[in-house]
């Protein structure tokens, strides 16, 4: 695991500090779309500010993505590795992973509409359970 984590950091041109290895390990072993607070609670030996700064470094290096616009007003993070889209339950702020969607039609439409070549995308959908 440690070798794998070091390799990932190196791939993204990041020095492998102890804090980075721990935060990256957390991100790769949890699918809970954590906030910096949540990671800090599990890794109290790393200050909240360091957790936050580490995550933002990961975001700048395209290792991690931010999910914002949440009703809790906090930045949530996710690994950028596996392609999936998010469905956010606005009643309880649950972020649900889903991958049963082929975005190629949407990507083609976006390219036709703008003349740009689409190189990346993120899809976040918001909804609430049916009120019965
Ligand atoms: Zn996700």
pLDDT band at 39 (very low <50, low <70, confident <90, very high): very high
Q: How many A from CA of 76 to the centre of ligand 1?
A: 10
Q: How many A from CA of 31 to the centre of ligand 1?
A: 7
Q: What is the pLDDT of residue 132?
A: 67
Mapped to the 3 state alphabet, what secondary structure does 15-79 carry? Answer: CCCHHHHHHHHHHHHCCCCCCHHHHHHHCCCCCHHHHHHHHHHHHHCCCEEEECCCCCCCCEEEE
Q: How many A from CA of 6 to the centre of ligand 1?
A: 22
Q: What is the model's pTM?
A: 0.81
pLDDT, tens digit (0-9, with 9 covering 90-100), for 60-95: 998 999 998 788 889 999 998 777 899 999 888 899
């Amino acid at each position: 695991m440690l070798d794998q984590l070091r390799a990932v950091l190196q791939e993204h041109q990041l020095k492998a500090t102890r804090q980075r290895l721990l935060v990256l390990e957390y991100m790769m072993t949890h699918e809970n779309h954590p906030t910096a607070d949540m990671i800090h609670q599990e890794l109290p030996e790393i200050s909240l500010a360091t957790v936050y700064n580490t995550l933002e470094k990961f975001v700048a290096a395209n290792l991690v993505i931010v999910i914002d616009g949440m009703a809790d007003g906090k930045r949530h993070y996710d690994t950028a590795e596996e392609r999936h889209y998010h469905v956010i339950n606005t009643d309880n702020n649950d972020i649900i992973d889903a991958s049963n969607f082929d975005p190629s039609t949407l990507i083609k439409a976006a390219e036709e509409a703008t003349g740009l070549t689409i190189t990346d995308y993120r899809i976040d959908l918001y909804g609430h359970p049916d009120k019965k």
